[in-house]
Copies of this chain bind each other. A is one copy, B any other.
Amino acid sequence: MSELVIWTLDWVPMPDGPAGFVRDLRLRWACEEAGFDYSVKTVPLDGKGPDHLARQPFGQVPFLDDGDLKLFESGACLLHLAGKSEKLMPHDPAGAAETLQWTIAALNSVEMASVPWWFLEVTGAKENGLTDLLESRLDGLEAVLKEREWLAADRFTVADLLMADVLRVKKIREFGDRPASESFVKRITERPAFKKAYADQMSHFKAADKAKNKG
């Protein structure tokens, strides 16, 4: 097995920054679920240089090294990791297709509405023109989650991991009354692999902040 390296930011503002929500967490979580060894490396938050943009043309994190193979986009990294372990995705054609479908639904049906909605909220739009769109997507998902425990293949997959991470954003969780979705997020984020990934990310950013304030 080739060496896995997850790339994230060297530092984010504490305590009001995105610590606990930086998307390297998705990759840490997937590696913990699969039992993969991995290391974490960083690029500077300030002054995105050519090295960062060469790896991620939109200036974001995370990105992943899998030996010589290099990937960006958390969704692509998750599907790549899922191809390496049945713990993240069944590899039979029907199970893989269903996992793929729900992974893309998390990215392109739910997060496509939730992230821009959240962005308008935090940048202070007086009326958020995406509220109806977000509501309709969350309602569609709630109807699905009322009927089943897992999104795909009757078992935990990387699609549950990603959807729970999308829904975990606090503003989205406070938005409307959707008990099946709430229970889903609670159940999926109670997994030891999530707790380990979350604690490790928090430790990373707390240590970085302590070092910065000393320096």
- Listed in ascending order, the chain A residues whose CB lies under 8 Å from chain B are 53, 57-60, 66, 68-69, 71-73, 75-76, 79-80, 93-94, 97-98, 100-101, 103-105, 107-109, 111-113, 115-117, 119-120, 123, 125, 129-130, 133, 136-137, 140-141, 143-144
Whole-angstrom distance between the Cβ of A156 and the nearest chain B Cβ: 19
Apart from A58-B136, A73-B108, what are 10 other A-B pairs with CB-CB below 8 Å?
A53-B143, A68-B94, A69-B94, A71-B101, A73-B105, A75-B107, A76-B104, A108-B112, A111-B112, A119-B129
Q: Is the CB of A57 within 8 A of B130?
A: no
A108 contacts which chain B residues (CB < 8 A)? 73, 75, 107-108, 111-112
Given contacts A111-B112, A120-B129, A130-B120, contact A143 B73 (CB under 8 A): no
Verify B115–A57 contact, CB threshold 8 A.
Answer: no
- Contact partner, A107, options B97, B107, B115, Cβ 8 Å: B107
Say which residue of B94, B109, B119, B133 sits within 8 Å of A73 (CB atoms).
B109
Minimum C-beta distance from A129 to chain B (A) = 5
Sample (16) of A-B pairs whose CB atoms are under 8 Å apart: A53-B140, A58-B140, A69-B94, A71-B101, A73-B104, A73-B108, A79-B79, A80-B100, A107-B108, A107-B112, A108-B108, A108-B111, A112-B112, A116-B116, A119-B133, A125-B129
Which residues of the partner chain B approach A107 to less than 8 Å between Cβ atoms?
Answer: 75, 104, 107-108, 112
